Amino acid sequence: MGGSYNPETGRRQRGMKVKSSEREERLAAALRENLKRRKSRTRMLKKPLAPEPVTGRQNKAAKPG
């Protein structure tokens, strides 16, 4: 008879290219989103907290003398 029939043989090679391309697009999108999240987090951590307004003397200890 000469070999077994495999219906997936022809589709596998063509499908891999499409799947590979789709996978690369999904991976690229995920990497972009990850980078945006990391940059946003870094900006938030570097942002200085608003200082409290200074009124009067900062050192309230009694002056020597």
The Cα 36–Cα 30 span in angstroms is: 10
Q: How many residues does the chain have?
A: 65
**Higher-scoring residue by pLDDT: 45, 51:** 45
Q: What is 20-62 written as a DSSP string?
A: HHHHHHHHHHHHHHHHHHHHHHHHHHHSPPPPPPP-S-S--SP
Q: Where are the domains of the chain?
A: 15-45
pLDDT of residue 38: 95
The model's pTM: 0.44
Q: pLDDT band for 19, please (50, 70, 90 cuts).
A: confident
Mean pLDDT of all residues belonging to the chain = 77
What pLDDT, on a 0 to 100 scale, did the predictor assign at position 10?
58
